[in-house]
Amino acid sequence: MDFVFANPTKVYFGTSQLPHLPEELLKFGRKVLLVYGGGSIKKNGLYGRITSLLEEQGLKLFELSGVEPNPRHTTVNRGVQICRREGVDVLLAVGGGSTIDCAKGIAATVFADTDDVWELVEGKQSIGRTLPLVTVLTLAATGSEMDCGAVLSNVPLNIKSGLIHESLFPAVSFEDPSITSSVPAYQTASGSADIITHILDVAYLSKPRQMEMLRNIQEEVLRTVIKFTPVALREPDNYEARANLMWASSWALNNFMYCGVQQCPILHAIEHELSAHYDITHGHGLAILTPRYLKYILNAATAPVIARLGVQCLGVDAALTEHQAATATIEAISKLYFETFGLSSTLSSLGIDDSRFERMAQACCHGLFAPDGQLHALADLSAQDVVEILKLSL
C-alpha cells in the first residue's frame, strides 16, 4: 500500500477567475502558443475573451488549432515546429482532454532531440526539460487538467498510446463550470462515462486491498457523477451540476483517488484500441465496454466488489445475495449509460464490426499494462478474453 503522492497543479475554479490568466502566463514569458480544437471556443466567445485579455497585457499569441478529438501525433509535431520557430515560452491549451493532451505532447517534445513526439511515446527518447503548460478546461471528462498523462494517436499505425511523466502536470488550470453549459448532451454524457470509468478502472475495480477512506471517497465521487449528470443533461445551465462534474473530473484521475493502488486500467486498454482503429469518442467506447466487461468477469471472487459498487452507488438492494446484487449492478450500469445518459449501447452503432477484434486484443495484451501477455486487475484477461468482451459489446 506504499505510495508517493504529488500534484503540483494550481487550479483556479469558478466563474470569476479568467482575469488571472495573463499573470499566470507571464510567470513563464510573453510568447504563448494557444492550442485548441475545432472552433467551439470561437462560437461560445471564449476565444475572444482569452485573446483580448492576453493581448491587453502585451502577450504575444501564436496558434495551433484543429486538434482532433483523438489528438494525432502529427498535430503535436506541428505544434513543436511552431514553438521552436517562434521561441514560445508557454503553452496555453483551451479545450477538453484532447487539446490538453496534444499540448502535453508538445511540451515534452520541444526540447527533445527529435522532431517527432512518437519517439517519446515509444521510449526511443526520454522526457527531459519540458515547456510549461497552462490550461483552460472546457469539458469535464478526462482529468488531464490535473494529471501528468497524455494519450495520443498514431493513425497510420492504428495505435493510441501515451506519455506519463511528472513534468507533464499543467502548471495552472482554469476551471469555469459555466463554460461547460454549452457542451452538447452527447459530449456531456461521454465525459461523465469517462469520469466514472477512471474511478472504476484505475482504482475501484483493482485487485489489491485499498485504504478504506479512499475506497469510500471513490464511491462518493461516483455518486456525485451519477447524480449530477442527468441534471446537467436536463438543465445544461445548472451551475451546481456543472461544478460538481468538473471538480469530480479533476479528482477522478489526479493521483489522490488511487493512492496505493496497483493500477491496470483494463477498460482503457481495450478502449484505446477501439479509438485507435475507429476514432470513436473515448467515453462512449468505455460506456459500451463496461457492463460487458463486468458481466464477463463476474464470478464468486469478483461478485463482492461489483455488488458493493451497486449497493453503494447505484441503488442496488443490499439484501440481495452477492451474485444477485452484482448482476443487478451490471443492469443498473447499462441503464445509467444507455437510458439515463442516452448513449447508444453497441459497438455496431458506432460502425464497428468484429474484423479487427483479434488484432486489437493482441495489441492491448502486449502493451504497457500487459507485459506478460495478460491484463491483471480484478480479473486476469488474456487476448482471447478481450475478444470475447468485444464480441459481447457488438
- Closest approach, Cβ 212 to a second copy, in A, equals 6
Which runs of consecutive H residues, i.e. helices, occur in 235-321? Answer: 239-251, 266-278, 282-297, 303-313
Give the number of C-alpha atoms closer than 13 A to the C-alpha of residue 17, restricted to the C-beta side: 18
- 153: Cβ contacts below 8 Å, ≥ 6 apart: 68, 70, 71, 72, 73, 159, 160, 275, 276, 279
The residue among 139 and 243 lying less far from a second copy, judged by its C-beta, is: 243
Judge contact between 75 and 67, C-beta under 8 A.
Answer: yes
Element (H, E) at 36: strand 31-36
Shortest CB 213 distance to a second copy, Å: 4
CB of residue 151 to a second copy, shortest distance in Å: 24
DSSP state for residue 232 in the 8-state scheme? H
User: Where do contacts with a second copy occur on this chain (CB under 8 A)?
Assistant: 1-17, 211-214, 216-217, 220-221, 223-224, 227-228, 240, 243-244, 247-248, 251, 256, 259-260
186: which residues sit within 8 A by CB, 6+ positions away?
Answer: 281, 284, 342, 343
280 vs 274: CA distance, rounded Å: 7
**Residue 29 or 260 with smaller CB distance to a second copy:** 260
First to last CA, the chain: 38
User: Cα angle vertex 99, ends 77, 135, to 5°?
Assistant: 115
Distance between CA 65 and CA 40 in Å, rounded?
Answer: 11
Select 224 or 281, whichever has its Cβ closest to a second copy.
224
Complex with a second copy: residue 21 or 370, whichever CB lies closer: 21
Nearer to a second copy, 177 or 265 (CB): 177
Residue 135 beta carbon to a second copy: minimum distance, rounded to whole angstroms: 14
DSSP conformation class of 67? -
CA 137 from centroid of its chain's CA atoms: 12
CB of 184 to a second copy, least distance (A): 23
Asked whether the beta carbons of 69 and 281 are under 8 A apart, the reply is yes
Pick 102 or 214: Cβ nearer a second copy:
214
Instruction: Give min distance, CB of 91 to a second copy, in A.
Output: 19
Least Å from the CB of residue 62 to a second copy: 28
Q: How far is the CB of 42 from a second copy (least distance, A)?
A: 25
Quote the distance between the C-alpha of residue 129 and its chain's center: 24
